[in-house]
Amino acid sequence: MSSTSRGNPSMGDILRTTIVLGLILVGLFAAGKLLFTVEPENPTSDVDYLLAASGVENSAGFDPLVVPKLDEGWRATVAKFDGNSWRFVITRDKEFYSFEQVRMGEREFLLTSGITLKDDATVDFDGTTWRIGSDESGNPTYLRDDSGFMYAVTSNAKRADIEAYMASLVPFSTVSD
């Protein structure tokens, strides 16, 4: 009677089996990712920024600035009011504009916002002087201190587009449905 026992597997057999099983697992993971994962077209939800802005004046005693109407392809993704500040963000593809209207002085705003000014750099938009800075990601930010409010616009758009955006901001009370 002869026995054909293979005995203990060699290190090469163990390594080969481990590699084959690993490749099978990676293949199953990749197939599952391709077949069962749906990438959303818009990974963030849209918000009704005009509806959010409608309650600011009664609650805070100031008229928030808004864009009266979003152009084709733009979406509002943030519209927040927290008692002293109004903030909204609009996006299109990889482009964004963030607007903030805050009841505080420039020094306090700079300490809490993460925005850094670029020395004494300024720019005039529509007859108003804005200070130039940047946010924590290096995106340009334009700041204006006016009557106890700080206005900040941060965007990754071209300067001419930012200027057009800033010129389009109007008090919410002037927007008609």
pLDDT for position 43:
58
pLDDT for position 142:
92
Is the pTM value of this prediction over 0.85? no
Please tell me the class of the 49-174 domain.
alpha beta
What is the rounded distance in angstroms from the CA atom of residue 20 to the CA atom of residue 89? 49
For residue 86, the cross-strand partners are: 81, 101
CB 156 within 8 A of CB 141: no
CB 115 within 8 A of CB 134: yes
pLDDT(147) > 70 = yes
For residue 80, the cross-strand partners are: 87
Domain residue ranges in the chain:
9-38, 49-174
For residue 90, the cross-strand partners are: 76, 97
Closest Cα to residue 135, out of 105, 100, 170, 160?
Answer: 100
Closest Cα to residue 113, out of 91, 93, 90, 84?
Answer: 84
pLDDT in tens, 1-48: 455 556 788 888 899 999 999 999 999 988 888 777 666 555 567 888
pLDDT(167) > 80 = yes
The rounded radius of gyration (Å) of the Cα atoms in the chain is 27
pLDDT in tens, 56-82: 877 878 889 999 998 888 999 999 988
